[in-house]
Amino acid sequence: MFKNFKTRFKTLETGFLSVAVIAAGVNLGGCSLNSASTDLYGPFSVPAKYTFVIDPPEKESERNQSWLLTGFQTLEGANTPDERASVYTGLGFVYEELGLNFISRYMYMNSIVMNPKNPDAFSHLGYHFTLSDRIDDAVESYSALRELEKNSKNRYSYLDSAFTMYYTGHNEAASEDIEKYYSEASSDPYHMLWRYIIQSKSKGRQEALEDLRASYNTALDAISESGDKKRDWGFNLVELYLGIMSYDALFDDIKKSIDDDETFQSHLCEAYFYIAKLEQEKGYDKLCYDYLTLCLATLKYNFIEYRAAKLEVRNLKRRYHLLKKEQEDASLD
């Protein structure tokens, strides 16, 4: 997962009741990897062996409801604006876990009213404004975040801004921001991937690929020198982009965690998104769209891959004139 949320907030535990693997015999309407069909609503094109459907976990819903109840009870006893701001931020995060973006955004705005120097709330609000096409508000949130972080080592404002600039077509600005952030996080495979995705637009695919390969080799050398035998799972995705790992090998590795609900769900969300971007790069918009659909089906609402997938789906529908105005207005809340 892109570490913005994982490192700044306590990751919420999740569980599953069951995982249903769609077998080859299920009617998926075709599986060709070579189809460049522009009919986004046509037959499903992802091979059955890469397609997993996860049942919504009842225990997770119950746990989130319990956290909400606890949060509101804590809010009633909060005595200072800073305490109330902290509770509102926590409630905003739980509502994100539930996919309730509008309420989540409202909680973060309340948090800022209570404490105008709350960097976490500004960071999350920026993402929410981006998802809602309120780009000026997103930029303003990141500017406020940057001001709050100017005396700290945190550079998340540049990461957040790069995301927004990329999805609004400001490729040069996105590249500048991701470079400022990347200098502090060059060994993280997910940051490598986003740097590649952004640089592909601003510098071209070949130069971006060379930079990705160089970063990958440097990171592996550092891991080797440290004597650490464990490495972040995200390096599998980097190897996929570099042609070192195949799709089959990647999904074989993912299936090793099929009994670990949280890990399995997380890896699927990540894999489906980054594969979608690879297929888009090849010109296979339909296949890209279907992988994005699978990414969204993982319901990892607070993963940046999930959020980016929502924007990618909307952009594809816009390109093929599949969004009506009222659908577009409501598509991301």
User: What pLDDT score was predicted for residue 316?
Assistant: 95
CB 256 within 8 A of CB 236: no
Nearest to 323 by CA among 332, 314, 333: 314
User: What pLDDT score was predicted for residue 134?
Assistant: 92
Q: pLDDT at residue 255 above 50?
A: yes
Cβ count near 13 (within 10 Å): 10
**Angstrom distance (rounded) from CA 149 to CA 152:** 5
pLDDT, the chain, mean? 84
CA 7, 13, 16, 20: dihedral to nearest 10 degrees?
10
> Is the model more confident about 211 or about 156?
211
User: What pLDDT score was predicted for residue 327?
Assistant: 57
DSSP conformational letter for 53: E
Question: Which pair of structure tokens corresponds to residue 319?
Answer: 């390109």
Q: Which residue has the tokens 């970063």?
A: 215
DSSP conformational letter for 49: G
pLDDT in tens, 280-298: 999 999 999 999 999 999 9
pLDDT in tens, 165-188: 999 999 999 999 999 888 766 789
**Angstrom distance (rounded) from CA 285 to CA 291:** 10
**What angle (nearest 5°) sits at the alpha carbon of residue 255, between those of residues 253 and 259?**
130
**Angstrom distance (rounded) from CA 121 to CA 139:** 14
> Band of the pLDDT at 220, cuts 50, 70, 90?
very high
Q: pLDDT at residue 247 above 60?
A: yes
> Band of the pLDDT at 57, cuts 50, 70, 90?
low
User: What pLDDT score was predicted for residue 33?
Assistant: 39
> Band of the pLDDT at 198, cuts 50, 70, 90?
very high
The mean per-residue pLDDT over the stretch 71-95 comes to: 91
Bridge partners, 19 (sequence order):
54
Task: Tell me the pTM.
Answer: 0.84
Exposed, middle or buried, 40 (CB in 10 Å: 0-12/13-18/19+)? middle
Cβ count near 268 (within 10 Å): 26
User: What pLDDT score was predicted for residue 36?
Assistant: 46
